[in-house]
């Protein structure tokens, strides 16, 4: 196990923006239960779409997952902006 220390730039309810030593840009730390739920949504949507491409439930799951990721990215971008850090993309 490494004894490195990360700098927490901002904490949200389900994630944090974290700067790891030696990395040019911060990353997003997502709580494990949130990450697992997001993966489940994506996997369920993929399964449903394979069974029936017109499946509305699958599209709803995908829309929800996209909104979750958009929220994470927005939190990341606001944190970088507040700290004067340019985006890595």
Across the chain, which distance is largest between two alpha carbons, in Å? 50
Q: For the whole model, what pTM was predicted?
A: 0.86
Q: 88 in a domain, yes or no?
A: no
Q: 87 in a domain, yes or no?
A: no
Mean pLDDT of the chain: 94
For 47-76, the pLDDT digits (tens) are: 889 998 888 888 888 999 999 999 999 999
Give residue 27's domain range. Answer: 7-82
Q: 76 in a domain, yes or no?
A: yes
Domain count, the chain: 1
Q: 20 in a domain, yes or no?
A: yes
Using alpha carbons, list the distances in angstroms from residue 89 to 25, 77, 78, 79, 86: 10, 11, 14, 15, 9
């Amino acid at each position: 196990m490494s004894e490195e220390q990360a700098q927490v730039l901002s904490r949200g309810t389900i994630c944090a923006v974290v700067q790891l030593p030696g990395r040019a840009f911060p990353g997003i730390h997502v709580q494990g239960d949130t990450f697992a739920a997001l993966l489940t949504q994506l996997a369920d949507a993929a399964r449903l779409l394979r069974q029936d491409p017109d499946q509305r439930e699958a599209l709803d799951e995908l829309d929800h997952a996209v909104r979750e990721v958009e929220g994470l990215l927005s939190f990341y971008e606001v944190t970088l902006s507040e700290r004067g850090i340019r985006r890595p993309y």
